[in-house]
Chains A and B, each alone.
Chain A
Amino acid sequence: GAVVSQHPSWVICKSGTSVKIECRSLDFQATTMFWYRQFPKQSLMLMATSNEGSKATYEQGVEKDKFLINHASLTLSTLTVTSAHPEDSSFYICSARPGTGDSHTEAFFGQGTRLTVV
C-alpha cells in the first residue's frame, strides 16, 4: 500500500522551544493531509486539515498560533508546535489520502510522533 512517512518518531524538547514534525507521502500526491492528536489510551482527535497551497483549517479549540501547519507541496505537510509546554506532550499522527476531490479511498497514516516536553 501507499506509504506515509512521519519524522521524527519521537522527540524530547525543553519547555518553551518549538518542534517541527514532518509528514510525507512517499509514493502518491495528497492535496489534503490531516493532523491528529492522541492522548494516552484515547482515540484520535482531529486537530486540523492541511490543504496544499492554502491555509490549514483548524478544529474548534485548537490554537492555530500554537500549532502551525504548512502544506508547501503535494507530498509534504509540517506541523510546528510553538513554545511547547508539558501539556503539549502527546502522540501526533498525520494521514494522507491519494488523489484529490471527494475520494473515499482509505487514508494512510504516518507512524506517529511521540512528543515529550520537559
Chain B
Amino acid sequence: AQKVTQAQTEISVVEKEDVTLDCVYETRDTTYYLFWYKQPPSGELVFLIRRNSFDEQNEISGRYSWNFQKSTSSFNFTITASQVVDSAVYFCALSALYNYGQNFVFGPGTRLSVLP
C-alpha cells in the first residue's frame, strides 16, 4: 500500500529559525516520485519540488533544501532562516506506478507557523 506520513501536525518557530519538516513514505514500487507542496491560507497548492526514486542527491533552492534518504524512506524538507511568509500547510506526496491511475497520495500535512 502507498502511504505518506508527516508526523508533525503543527510546528511553530520564530522568524529566522531553521525548521525541518519530516516525511516518511511507504511503497512497493521501485520507481516512484516524491513531491512537496505548500498550501498558504488562500488555499491553492504551490509546487515546491519533485524527486524521483533514482535520484538521492539532495537539493537546495534558496532557503529550501530537501534530504532524500531511500534507506529510511524519508524525504525531509528544511527551511533555513524562516520567514513569516513561510507560514502555511506543507504536504508531502507520493506518486508511484501502483497507484491507481497517476494519482498522488498525500500526507496529512504539517502546519507551519512562523512568528515575527
Interface residues of A (CB under 8 A from B): 1, 32, 34, 41-44, 46, 49, 57, 91, 93, 95, 97, 102-112, 114
Contact = CB atoms under 8 A, between A and B. Distances in A.
A44 B47 contact: no
B108 A97 contact: no
Nearest to A51: B101
Contacts of B35: 106
7 contacts: A43-B91, A44-B45, A46-B104, A104-B52, A106-B47, A107-B104, A110-B44
B84 interface: no
Interface of B: 33, 35, 37, 42-45, 47, 50, 52, 91, 95, 97, 100-104, 106-109, 111
A97 B33 CA distance: 14
Given A110-B44, A111-B43, A111-B44, A104 B109 contact: no
Contacts of A46: 103-104
Contacts of A114: 43
B9 to A, nearest CB: 9
A110 B104 CA distance: 15
Contacts of B101: 32, 34, 49, 57
